[in-house]
Amino acid sequence: MFDNKNKPKGLKRIMLASLNSYRAIEWLFHNESAFKQELLLLVVAIPLTFRFDISVAQQVILIVAILFIMFTEILNTAIEAVVDRIGLDIHPLSGLAKDLGSAAVLLSIFIASGIWFAILL
């Protein structure tokens, strides 16, 4: 049973949450090729934004657009993990959940691409 009264609070909670997040990102890096590709895209995009004659705000928007793809990929991977935890048997709803997560990633790529085109053109 969940005990709400003994949950860590304050800085301890922040530290534990940060460690959990770090562990998750490390797992993504080692196990999700799409996340590695998106991380590479981010590493290339950040210095690339300095080569364009754009404002700092526009640079930030371009970088956030790539981070949005990564954010969506993380949620997609979480959906896949939960579905696989429930069971590996083939079920239409399991497939739908995974397809919807994948569609969210695709939509985030379209959004990021649109942002890059709008700012750079």
Of the candidates 26, 32, 38, 73, the residue annotated as catalytic is: 73
Identify which of 101, 93, 40 has the alpha carbon closest to the alpha carbon of residue 76: 101
Whether 73 sits among the annotated catalytic residues: the reply is: yes
Question: Cα–Cα distance between 111 and 66 in angstroms, integer?
Answer: 10
Give the number of other CB atoms < 10 A from CB of residue 68: 15
Give the number of other CB atoms < 10 A from CB of residue 78: 12
- Judged by phi (left if over 0) then psi (alpha if -120 to 50, else beta), residue 8 lies in beta
Q: Which residue has the tokens 């048997």?
A: 89
Q: So which residues are the catalytic ones?
A: 73
